Amino acid sequence: MPESATIPHTPSSGGDSEGKSKSADKSSRTRRLKHDIIEAVNELIQDITTCHEQIAEQAIEHIHQNEVILTLGSSKTVLEFLYAAKEKRRSFRVFVAEGAPRYQGHLLAKELVARGLHTTLITDSAVFAIISRVNMVIVGAHAVMANGGVIAPVGLNMVALAAQKHAVPFVVLAGSHKLCPLYPHNPEVLLNELRSPSELLDFGEFSDCLDFGSGTGSPLLHVVNPAFDYVPPKLVSLFITDTGGHNPSYMYRLIADYYSADDLVVQGRIASGKLSSNRFCLLYSR
């Protein structure tokens, strides 16, 4: 049913008078529907672009003086969050883990330094070593699942485990548009993307190993390069969204605000496990 709502049904040109009156009705209904949908999409765009400010306003409540903050990879939300705290004259230091193999951490470190924050770049392997001296871990998210779990850039599960061991709060910044009504079953496989191995291994150096061969016909060398990690809700201390701070166990209530009840029942062919298709399939109700 939702599909028919989004895709306007164009009437055939030649038809009987009944069809014509129906088409006249349909076109006005279609126009109204288009108008509503376009308005909704514009609102969504507005939300996405302004969520940074609303989240960053809450920065001052969570960052005190002389803090040490750890983050991994790069997220614009995190950047704005930290910058807002700095604007309010809080002094703190940031450890940025580089986030191989995309090395987004380098970008974030460059941005932070440009804005005047004291930044130290570390490798991802040094996270456990450093975290005992860190006060808070602040990260962005790719998506927030219905149970409060987070689909985050790869490596953040490791950081969350280390933070739990050292009792360091793990704070996830996510705009409300990242909320997803799906429950993550086997998220490492189903909700993940595997990227090109060339980011890890140079093809030229290892082309001999990548040959199919060795008799059985299967390659001896596999390269695994996942793009995302799943962080279970018990490792997350707090979600900071544009509507305020929430516990992971509360996130499912927000789904009712952003998704129509009709759409929470996920049908077989819709549930492909791809987040992008969810956005198109489900009606964004206000």
Q: Does 103 bind another protein (CB under 8 A)?
A: yes
Q: Does 225 bind another protein (CB under 8 A)?
A: yes
127 or 236, CB closer to another protein?
127
> Is the separation of the CB atoms in 30 and 55 below 8 Å?
no
Amino acid letter, residue 7: I
Nearest to 238 by CA among 52, 58, 68: 58
Q: Does 129 bind another protein (CB under 8 A)?
A: yes
Q: Does 127 bind another protein (CB under 8 A)?
A: yes
Q: Please give the size of the binding site for another protein, defined by CB under 8 A.
A: 56
Which of 148, 149, 155, 175 forms a contact with another protein (CB under 8 A)?
155
Q: Does 90 bind another protein (CB under 8 A)?
A: no
2 or 169, CB closer to another protein?
169
The residue written with tokens 């409060």 in the block is: 148
**Other Cβ atoms within 10 Å of 40 Cβ, number:** 14
Which of 48, 60, 113, 283 forms a contact with another protein (CB under 8 A)?
113
Write the CB contacts of 213 (distance below 8 Å, at least 6 apart in sequence).
219, 220
Distances (CA, A) of 251 to 44, 56, 148, 235, 257: 19, 19, 6, 14, 10
Q: Does 24 bind another protein (CB under 8 A)?
A: no
Which of 37, 40, 122, 275 forms a contact with another protein (CB under 8 A)?
122
Q: Where are the beta strands (DSSP E) in 115-156?
A: 118-122, 136-140, 143-144, 150-153
For residue 285, how far is the Cα from the chain centroid? 21
Distances (CA, A) of 34 to 7, 9, 102, 252: 10, 11, 39, 29
122 or 275, CB closer to another protein?
122
**Among 39-47, 125-133, 243-251, 265-273, which window interacts with another protein (CB under 8 A)?**
125-133
Q: Does 283 bind another protein (CB under 8 A)?
A: no
Which of 38, 45, 126, 256 forms a contact with another protein (CB under 8 A)?
126
Residues of this chain that interact with another protein (CB under 8 A) are: 95, 98-101, 103, 106-107, 109-110, 112-113, 116-130, 132-133, 154-155, 157-158, 161-162, 165, 188, 192, 199-202, 205-206, 209, 214, 218, 220-226, 229-230
